[in-house]
């Protein structure tokens, strides 16, 4: 068991040991996926006493009770890979890749469609996952977008200006924070802070354009850099430490640590 003189709430300990967000840790306990010393544990706020718990399991798999260091990696998700732990119809998933590379207890920030590629941020620290994932923090994500059509630069720039004002699609208002045209051949750069389903494709489809290639190049302060598809890279220590400290501070400042009276808010996000 981790050396500590304080009792730890079950969901909080699970968050740390399994590298999942607060919301995910709460969901897992409430769903009966977690057991303590062989018995199902359904109260996420149960206090774990130092030295008394001998076994902690998630979906039947034991989790370490030893303290663990927090780490952050960047991964270039290649085309064709599913952002899923497992899939009954495909073995090409991010979860399988992580397990094969020994990334046990790690989770990733956000999702990318199977036909999209680019940056996923990996961490075994639930605070980092929470701070970069939860919509309330409006983390900026930057994409490069290549279109199947060949519109003029002016037409794309006008569409991007319209996107910053917002468009209506399927009962939702979709909006980008920033947009510009770069490169040769040209591509659009768009910055979002929400992440609705298929949002980038829907934005361009509104103007009659088809996204031919979609590449995510940044999530918050983390950039894809020169990573090759399918490869990992740990963040430099200073950058990693700054991001972990920033996540802790952000969650503390916003009162994000769940208690019984805010459980519903966390689960409905």
- Total number of residues shown for the chain: 269
Q: How many CA atoms lie within 13 A of 206 on its CB side?
A: 21
Show the tokens assigned to 120.
Answer: 């996923």
Quickly count: other Cβ atoms within 10 Å of residue 58's Cβ. 18
- Four-residue CA torsion sign, 121, 125, 128, 132: positive
Q: Of residues 37, 86, 87, 113, which has the active-site annotation?
A: 113
DSSP state of 206: T
Tell me the C-alpha distance between 80 and 253, whole Å. Answer: 39
Measured between alpha carbons, how far is residue 204 from residues 114, 215, 227 in Å?
A: 18, 15, 27
- Residue 37 designated active-site: no
Q: How many CA atoms lie within 13 A of 90 on its CB side?
A: 12
Tell me the C-alpha distance between 27 and 266, whole Å. Answer: 10
Tell me the C-alpha distance between 152 and 207, whole Å. Answer: 13
Tell me the C-alpha distance between 169 and 163, whole Å. Answer: 12
Name which of 85, 75, 79 is nearest 20 in CA terms: 85
User: Which residues are catalytically annotated?
Assistant: 113
């Amino acid at each position: 068991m981790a050396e500590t003189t304080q009792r730890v709430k079950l969901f909080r300990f699970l968050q740390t040991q399994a590298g999942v967000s607060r919301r995910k840790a709460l969901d897992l306990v409430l769903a009966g996926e977690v057991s303590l010393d062989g018995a199902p544990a359904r109260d996420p706020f149960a206090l774990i006493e130092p030295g008394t718990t001998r076994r902690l399991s998630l979906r039947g798999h034991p989790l370490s009770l030893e303290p663990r260091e927090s780490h952050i990696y960047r991964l270039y998700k290649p085309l064709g890979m599913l952002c899923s732990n497992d899939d009954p119809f495909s073995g090409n998933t991010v979860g399988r890749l992580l397990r094969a590379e020994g990334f046990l207890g790690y989770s990733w920030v956000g999702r990318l469609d199977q036909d999209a590629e680019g940056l996923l941020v990996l961490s075994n620290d639930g605070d980092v996952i929470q701070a970069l994932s939860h919509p309330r923090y409006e983390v900026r994500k930057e994409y490069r977008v290549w279109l199947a059509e060949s519109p003029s630069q002016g037409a794309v720039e006008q569409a991007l200006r319209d996107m910053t004002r917002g468009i209506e699609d399927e009962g939702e208002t979709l909006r980008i924070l920033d947009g510009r045209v770069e490169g040769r051949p040209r591509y659009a750069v768009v910055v979002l802070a929400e992440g609705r389903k298929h949002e980038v494709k829907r934005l361009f489809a509104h103007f009659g354009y088809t996204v031919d290639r979609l590449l995510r190049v940044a999530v918050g302060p983390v950039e894809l850099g020169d990573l090759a598809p399918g490869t990992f890279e740990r963040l430099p220590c200073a950058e990693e430490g700054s991001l972990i400290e920033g996540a802790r501070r952000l969650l503390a400042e916003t009162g994000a640590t769940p208690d019984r009276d805010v459980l519903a808010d966390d689960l409905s996000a």
